[in-house]
Amino acid sequence: MQTTPPDTVKAYVDKCIGILKASHIVLPKNANVNIYHHCGRDELLRTGAMFINIVNRDYCKSMVVMTAGQAYPNHYHRIKTESFYVLVGELKVVIDGTVYTALPGELLHIERGQDHSFYTDGGAVFEEISTMYVPNDSVYTDEKIADTSYSQRRTTLTAQQWKEIIDNA
């Protein structure tokens, strides 16, 4: 893992892997992982999520893990459209100001340019299926987050780092 303090992010990753294992979700062995901490690593349990990215040339699937009480800030995408397919837990998605509740097996679609955020009270795992993977395609409505660089808002695990983590989990 990059940057400090590694303990905060490592503890979060361990917690997310625990959720995935308890849910009997098979972990992809070859993936790049982004841990988003928009308001700083110390606020990770309140704001952020872990995205396990599986990228094809034409589309992207990310398995997203959120722990209990976590929220992802309001934003929109300039390029991609996406759909959320819930695997575990209850996910609340706010699209253009309307709150939708998605349970396992349910799908929500978000168009390019639509404001959206999401949160979970009890924890959730869902797939984000998007038209493509475009780094830094999110435009945040919170000026403080928008003024923070993409590299400061996330910690990235390479495929090799991810493999080592799950081999030891």
Residue 29 lies in a domain: yes
Q: Is there a domain that residue 51 lies in?
A: yes
In a domain, 86, yes or no: yes
Secondary structure letter of residue 38 according to DSSP: T
Nearest to 89 by CA among 104, 72, 107, 74: 104
What are the distances in angstroms from CA 153 to CA 95, 102, 140, 144?
A: 22, 26, 11, 11
Q: Which domain holds residue 90?
A: 6-167
Residue type (1 letter), 116: H
Contact 56, 129 (CB under 8 A): no
The domain total for the chain is: 1
Inter-residue contact 112 to 78 (CB < 8 Å): yes
Q: Is residue 1 part of a domain?
A: no
Closest CA to 119 of 146, 88, 92, 158: 92
Task: Look at 138 and 58; give whichever has higher pLDDT.
Answer: 138
Is the separation of the CB atoms in 59 and 65 below 8 Å?
A: no
> For the domain that residue 155 is a member of, what is the CATH number?
2.60.120.10
pLDDT band for position 132 (50/70/90)? confident
Q: What is the pTM of this model?
A: 0.92
pLDDT tens string 35-92:
999 999 999 999 999 999 887 767 789 999 999 999 999 999 999 999 999 999 999 9
